[in-house]
Structure 1
Amino acid sequence: MRHFDIKETLESKGLEFDQPYRVLEVCNPQEGKKVLEENQMVGYFLPCKMVVYEGAGTTKIGLPKPTALIEMVKDDSLKQFAQDMEDRLITCMDRAV
């Protein structure tokens, strides 16, 4: 898993950003390959990401929902795949809290 520290990146470019903010790449390579073989337009959404940041004194964690993203490619054959992936990612987030 790769992560990007947005606060650190912005500050390295001379921009102030006072809040910890990380983007985590959480894509499973086997699943990514499988879905790309079905429809290469899904590559616009890969790798799957989660965002972790602080807000109002608490840690927030979220993600762009694969079911919403997959609607953009208008390929009904991928809807169940997106739902399965979303369910697994939400389970991971729930365990992290």
Structure 2
Amino acid sequence: MRYGIIKETNYEFEKAIKKLDENLQKEGFGILSRINLNEKFKAKLGIDFKKYTILGACSPKNAHKAILAEENIGLFLPCNLIVYEKDEKTIVAAIKPTVAMESANNEKVLEIAKEIEESLARVIDNL
């Protein structure tokens, strides 16, 4: 996948989110938001859907650097990660910040995005 870092795990859904949170913290990130799409689809559309959660993660240090380099970069923050069930597995994926932020056309922002992407890759790899 060109725009994401993805890994299939054997973790139970909530355990995968817990491990992801632990790994994010080790890399200086915190989870700012959690959107349970299965719950939203049920409540708003009456649709039963598999477990699918979007997490908004932020590294305050890197967010600060990026905003100093490009004030409007906040449009791309926080970094989204997803966790969902597929074929009795739990899939975890993270956005590639380099892809998300390349449209800013700012070398400083791209360098920061590379650092963030390396951190997110470690988070996913260590699951």
Cα distance in 1 for partners of 2:84, 2:120 equals: 17
Name the count of aligned residue pairs: 96
Give the TM-score normalised by the residue count of structure 2.
Answer: 0.69
Cα distance in 1 for partners of 2:110, 2:35 equals: 28
1:69-97 superposed Cα distances (whole Å, 9 cap, x missing partner)? 1211111222221111001011111122x
Q: Secondary structure at the match of 2:63?
A: helix
State the partner residue of 1:85.
116
State the partner residue of 1:60.
91
Give the TM-score normalised by the residue count of structure 1.
Answer: 0.88
Q: Give the alignment of 1:1-97 within 5 angstroms.
A: 1=31, 2-96=33-127
* Higher RCO, Cα 8 Å, sep 6+: 2
Percent sequence identity is 25
Shift of 1:3: 1.1
Structure with the larger strand share: 2
Question: Once superposed, which parts of structure 1, at least 4 consecutive aligned residues long, lie more than 4 Å away?
Answer: none
Partner amino acid, structure 1, of 2:57: V
The root-mean-square deviation of aligned C-alpha atoms, in Å, is 1.4
Cα distance in 1 for partners of 2:74, 2:48 equals: 30
Using a 3 Å threshold, how does the CA distance of structure 1 residues 17 and 72 change in structure 2: closer, same or farther?
A: farther
Partner amino acid, structure 2, of 1:14: L
Cα distance in 2 for partners of 1:17, 1:81 equals: 39
Q: Secondary structure at the match of 2:45?
A: coil
Shift of 1:33: 1.9
Shift of 1:56: 2.4
